[in-house]
Amino acid sequence: MSKTAISTENAPKPVAAFSQAVRKGNILQVAGQVAFDPATGAIVGETVGEQTEQTFKNIEAVLEAAGSSLSDAMMVRVYLTDVDHFGAFNEVYNKLIGEAPHPARTTVYVGLPAGLLVEIDVLAVTD
């Protein structure tokens, strides 16, 4: 079983040698997405809530290109730059993630490039 790269113009292009997502069988790994506008490359939003919304738009675009959706998500990894952003992030996340059962989630606090407050990657399993 071979790996297949997933690519869409509706999400930001990777800045290094990696794919927006990779599928092998029914497993789909979406690379870490951030709040870049796919058309301009500019950061969308100044708050963690605004950036989370754009990041999920990018994730959904990649999932759609793979014939998938957030309902197939099994694991969501969230990278925040500040522990104080957790509450605002979680409000938007809870609104966007959909109905239960919810995917497993890990939240890690990291440094990101200037202006970015959140990065998210998703592991999905499709039927």
Domain of 86, CATH number, reads 3.30.1330.40
* Two tokens, residue 121: 């990657």
pTM for the structure as a whole: 0.95
- State how far the Cα of 107 lies from the Cα of 90, in Å rounded to an integer: 10
Average model confidence (pLDDT) for the chain? 96
Res 15 pLDDT > 90:
no
- Averaging pLDDT over each range in 12-16, 56-60, 98-102, which range is the top one? 56-60
* Two tokens, residue 29: 């790994």
Asked if 34 and 55 touch (Cβ cutoff 8 Å), the reply is: yes
**pLDDT score, position 99:** 84
**pLDDT score, position 19:** 96
In the chain, what percentage of residues exceed pLDDT 70? 100
Domain with 70 in it: 3-125
Task: Report DSSP state, residue 93.
Answer: H
Q: How do residues 29-78 score in pLDDT, each as one tens digit?
A: 999 999 999 999 999 999 999 999 999 999 999 999 999 999 999 999 99
Strands 27-33 and 104-109, bridge-based pairing: unpaired
Number of domains in the chain: 1
